[in-house]
Amino acid sequence: MDEHYSKVLKTMTNKPTGEIIRIAVIDDDEDDYFFMNDYLKGIDGKQFITDWYRDYESAIKCLHSKSHHLYFVDYFLGNKSGLDLLKEAATFNFDRPVVLLTGFGSKDIDIQAMEHGAADYLVKSELSTEKLERCIRYALERTTFLEELKARETKYRNLFEGSKDAVFIADTNLVFTEVNHSADILLQSKNGRLTGRSLYDFIGDSVQKNRIKDLVKSAGNIDDLEIKVRRDDKEIKNCLLSLSVLNTPDQLPIVHGIIHDITNIKKAELITLQSEKLAANERLIRMLAHEIRNPLNNIILSVEHLIPANEDEEQKDFLGMIQRNAIRINHIISELLNMANPVELVFENHSLVDVMEESLGLASDRIKLHKVKLEKKFPAVPIIVACDRSKLVIAFTNILINAIEAMELEEGHLSIQIEESAKAYSISIQDNGKGIPKEYLSKLFDPFFTLKKNGMGLGLTASYSIIQSHKASMQVESNEGEGTSFTISFPKS
């Protein structure tokens, strides 16, 4: 470029109070640049500052700087063209409006210019002040609109991608067309892709499926419907589902959906409920034990007085029967009181594997008698927790015995797994027994509740109390005819 043109050429209208718009004219013909200035002077209400760039290399630098509001580019730029400039601008995401200028009209060039991002296409011989004013106005308005649209898209895209809830877009069959990262994490798809799959693939309950289909078809919107989601890794998640159906005149309806995972909330509610029930039962046990023990002590003392003084052997036998059963009742009350009283723990560091091995040793006779197949998945590196070993052995043993007795003779499979996660150490005890009916799961840890013919219903209650006293949690999952799984989690903190 000549030194004369290396300086920025500026032409301003005689209306300095108007809006200032910076325009770059990229043209290898100086006369065309001056013609453009003449047209710009005739536009009222605006103040233009124009810069001239006469070759392709200086034009590229100009586009990189993004220092202008609008760019007029001639089709012919030496060995390259205005289309080449548009293509190169697209490689660095150039977002300012570009108007392509040609000396003759060509529909093919017009189409190519629009395809490569040009805001407009003008023929030099047809230029006028009115056409130029309209072109500038439309190009700047379109750019402003696109910038606002892009800003909105960025904002809502950030909300979509950054949401902790699973957010998705789907068709009316709830086939995913777009999902956020939280949806991938929640549903744990086998191949890592959810698009093309339906939400119904992750809902095992046919009643829930049909209800959702009916609601989508009739109401169109769903607000906080509680559902159970079955992930590809078989884990069940309790969730709240919200759907909104968007109907447009020219397109098929689309569904916006949000899935809020409430699994941890449900677990916390269950733990709180169990704790409240346990505390209420303990208060009731202490009250009943006190009320029963007073008359029972009188019975025992009276029998002890009557037996030596009575010479009738038959009556002695009856009195002995009364004495033995009274002592047995007294022993049961003592067990109940021991269970109801706060457990006194002596915390020391122990390996969870060692504690479980000791518990398995106490249950080994039953395992052999029932011919149970035992599968152990223990970590190579010891997992150490602070615990009362003797109490924890009692808790584990009670759970193991319940699992063994729930399985059929010679068909039992008992799986025990100890593993570490980011927040907890967990023990899973899983059997393939007859399972527990759903209506009984909430009563499982209640005192005196049992499904055994000769059970007292105190073993699992004691286990739950011990586990809870270790600040650990115990979750139970069971399906009738398939088996039961106990998961005990010790938080790392």
Predicted local distance difference test score (pLDDT) of residue 339: 62
Predicted local distance difference test score (pLDDT) of residue 343: 57
Name the 3-class secondary structure at 368: helix
Predicted local distance difference test score (pLDDT) of residue 455: 56
At 336, the amino acid letter reads L
In the chain, domain spans: 3-159, 164-261, 266-340, 348-491
CATH, range 3-159: 3.40.50.2300
Predicted local distance difference test score (pLDDT) of residue 449: 61
Look up residue 202 and give its two tokens.
């992750």
Predicted local distance difference test score (pLDDT) of residue 9: 36
Predicted local distance difference test score (pLDDT) of residue 428: 94
Integer Cα distance of 460 and 394 in angstroms:
10
Q: Which regions in the chain score pLDDT beneath 70?
A: 1-19, 189-192, 219-220, 274, 277-278, 281, 335-336, 338-343, 446-458
Predicted local distance difference test score (pLDDT) of residue 13: 35
DSSP string, 374-405: EEEE--SS--EEEE-HHHHHHHHHHHHHHHHH
CATH 3.30.565.10 holds for 348-491: yes
pTM, full prediction: 0.50
Burial class of residue 280 (count of CB atoms within 10 Å of its CB; 0-12, 13-18, 19+): exposed
Q: Within 10 Å of residue 99's Cβ, how many Cβ atoms? A: 21
266-340: CATH topology is Helix Hairpins (1.10.287)
Pick the CATH number of 164-261 from 3.90.105.20, 2.130.10.10, 3.40.47.10, 3.30.450.20: 3.30.450.20
Integer Cα distance of 143 and 50 in angstroms:
19
Q: Are 365 and 400 in contact (CB under 8 A)?
A: no
